[in-house]
Amino acid sequence: MNQYGKVLTDVTLNDRFWNRFRETLVREGIPYQWKALNDQLDADAEPSYCMRNFRIAAGREKGDFGGFVFQDSDIYKWLEGVAFSLRWHPDPALEAIADGAIEAVAEAQQPDGYLDTYYIINGLDKRWTNLKDNHELYVAGHMIEAAVAYCQVTGKRRLLDVAIRLVDHIDSVIGPEPGKLHGYPGHPVIEMALMRLYGVTHEEKHLRLAKYFVDQRGQAPLYFEEEDERNQNRFFWRDSPLRYRYYQAERPVREQKDAEGHAVRAMYLYSGMADVARETGDEGLANACRDLWESATRRRMYVTGAVGSSEHGEAFTFDYDLPNDTVYGETCASIGLVFFARRMLLLEPKAEYADVMERALYNGIISGMQLDGKRFFYVNPLEVVPEACEMDAHKRHVKPQRQKWFGCACCPPNLIRMLTSLEEYVATGAGDTVYVNLYVGGRIREGGLSLNVETNYPWEGDVKLTVTGDAPWDGKLALRIPGWCGDWTLSVNGKAVKAVPCQGYAVLEGPWKSGDVVELRMDMPARWVRANTRVRENAGRVALQRGPVVYCLEEADNGPSLHSVRVGTEARAESRWEPDTLGGVVTLTTPGLREKADKPETGLYTFREAPDAEAVALRWIPYYAWANRGVGEMRVWIRA
């Protein structure tokens, strides 16, 4: 029985900042991605093959499988995002398109419940022979999540029934019982998907299977080694320092202390672990989640909320290894970090989890989408020189502009399902307390409480919360005091109150009646950020942050050769609201120095004094909005 917190789902958003992103997704992003999934984009966009594979698997047309082994997952994430969007933006035409896509999926399901177009098209005799690399359980997990969301929003069970049949099939093939495969997914996601399914069905076998996948991972003898030997599978990471750490399978999860391996897989696994720990009351598993959280966010996370520093394996490396120009920082990894953060909030209401959730949302996630909703970053660098991206093989994964589509297109539909479901990250409840984790305009309802939230966050630090409703409410209201905030005041009905934050939350006692007004005022100056001295790449450098938003310098405002710029950290940044810039942003201006370029005849190395420098005014924009005005240099960390 769940003894911890819960997500408050009766939330309606009406927020100036997030409305723009979400409406862009509804108007442009969702239709654009549907075209991509049906290979209807321009010829220079990489094909998807996704819906074509389903038509072939269902016998509607002839052809070979196209794309990656996990290509099915793209439509499932798209469907999940569509489901969430229909909750706050009903659209009968879009719902009809989604119903048609679901029918295509259902038609491909096999008589025994199996569903994966790669093996349906290429030969069912090979299914379940490569759990390590061929993503069958990963694809199934995304289908389960889409099915749950679509049923919860629309009430339609078609996809949910398909998902339950698939889970029944998986349960008949994989598990601890004799005669079954004692395996687990190479790419986690089914763990948290099964927990979402369990929340709807309350079927013990769904909880039991999720717990099995968590507990079995990394146990000796190692299943992946046995599977490779039995089926002559290739081990891609045999000669890599990652080896089975790539899959988070080098040791059982309760013995893992460091965030290792493929960053997206890690975040999805940790999210599933936290779900199982919360539902089963497994404190040992919860402690493992705490250790992994601390490793990922206190020693291996970028200032933008990006995780996964290496292109090799899209992986974590070692503590404080955070290069800015070769970073991977996959959009999906930051999304996974938000999944993990929310689940940690449900284990224990500590503001540090919401702080990280906020950091990723306002920086490393929305940076993955162009402001028009039609181009995307897979990789989110903190420093870019376009020429290096083109000519340096070690930086070819870094792109100076967002792409129309990817052959491996996991990030675009993941962005959709993240931003369309933002309601589920705003507030949590535990006992008689409502915790406000994100300051987003709208309404929160829980029990007898109805709370109207007004704010111009993240550009301003004032938040007004008005209690509405007929009956008084006796619970407690807990407001997060963000880690970036140095000075704040709190008032109730116009009278100042003192509240000592507990675990980062200012807790106010009830009872509350209709008309009560709580006002939180947070001072929001731009502040210079310094990295831990162990981060070699940022020695002598600073970044600039205002509220939750991290800023950067871009060539469009400051010219090329940004490496020649220095800033004086004693100066206060001037902020300015610019409604016509990048969809409406607060820009920052600081004084700085720019070293004058040497003449062409100057030698490569000389014994001269430091180069001359001239005073300049530096213009900073929010990091998430870079690369929306053409190709050019960009930097987050600048020499001090």
Q: Do 65 and 54 contact (CB within 8 A), yes or no?
A: no
Options 314, 554, 555, 633, the catalytic residue: 314
Position 1 pLDDT exceeds 50: no
Residue 323 confidence class, pLDDT cut points 50, 70, 90: very high
Q: Do 289 and 297 contact (CB within 8 A), yes or no?
A: no
The whole-chain average pLDDT of the chain stands at: 96
- The DSSP element (H or E) to which 543 belongs, if any, is strand 541-546
Average pLDDT on 374-403 reads 95
Options 50, 289, 410, 411, the catalytic residue: 410
pLDDT digits (tens, 9 = 90+) for 509-538: 989 999 999 999 999 999 999 999 999 999
100 Cβ contact list (under 8 Å, min separation 6) = none
Q: Do 526 and 618 contact (CB within 8 A), yes or no?
A: no
Residue 2 confidence class, pLDDT cut points 50, 70, 90: very low
Residue 410 known to be catalytic: yes
**Among 297, 316, 303, 439, which residue's Cα sits nearest to residue 364?**
303
622 Cβ contact list (under 8 Å, min separation 6) = 549, 550, 551, 552, 582, 585, 586
Which residues on adjacent β-strands are paired with residue 434?
A: 429, 477
Residue 4 confidence class, pLDDT cut points 50, 70, 90: confident
Which residues on adjacent β-strands are paired with residue 528?
A: 544
Q: Do 547 and 500 contact (CB within 8 A), yes or no?
A: no
CA distance linking residue 495 with residue 519, whole number of Å? 10
Q: Do 611 and 540 contact (CB within 8 A), yes or no?
A: no
Residue 227 known to be catalytic: no
* pLDDT of 317: 98
Q: Do 293 and 342 contact (CB within 8 A), yes or no?
A: no
Position 43 pLDDT exceeds 90: no
Q: Do 215 and 230 contact (CB within 8 A), yes or no?
A: no
pLDDT digits (tens, 9 = 90+) for 545-585: 999 999 999 999 999 999 999 998 888 899 999 999 999 99
Angle at 220 between CA 219 and CA 225, to 5 degrees: 100
Encoded tokens for 553: 């310098």
CA distance linking residue 58 with residue 401, whole number of Å? 37
Average pLDDT on 69-88 reads 97
Encoded tokens for 598: 């040497």
Domains of the chain: 12-425 (1.50.10.10), 428-522 (2.60.40.1180), 526-639 (no CATH)
Range of weakest confidence among 155-164, 312-321, 607-616: 607-616
CA distance linking residue 350 with residue 362, whole number of Å? 19
Our separate counts of H helices and E strands in the chain read 18, 22
Q: Are strands 11-13 and 442-446 parallel, antiparallel or unpaired?
A: antiparallel
* pLDDT of 44: 82
CA distance linking residue 351 with residue 357, whole number of Å? 10
* pLDDT of 448: 85
The CA distances from residue 638 to 85, 178, 322, 407, 616, in Å, are 39, 59, 15, 34, 14
* pLDDT of 3: 58
CA distance linking residue 8 with residue 296, whole number of Å? 26
Q: Are strands 427-430 and 585-595 parallel, antiparallel or unpaired?
A: unpaired
Q: Are strands 427-430 and 634-635 parallel, antiparallel or unpaired?
A: unpaired
pLDDT digits (tens, 9 = 90+) for 256-295: 999 999 999 999 999 999 999 999 999 999 999 999 999 9
Q: How many CA atoms lie within 13 A of 204 on its CB side?
A: 1
Q: Are strands 476-480 and 433-436 parallel, antiparallel or unpaired?
A: parallel
pLDDT digits (tens, 9 = 90+) for 96-153: 999 999 999 999 999 999 999 999 999 999 999 999 999 999 999 999 999 999 999 9
Q: In the chain, pLDDT over 70 holds for what percent of residues?
A: 100
* pLDDT of 405: 85
CA distance linking residue 396 with residue 417, whole number of Å? 28
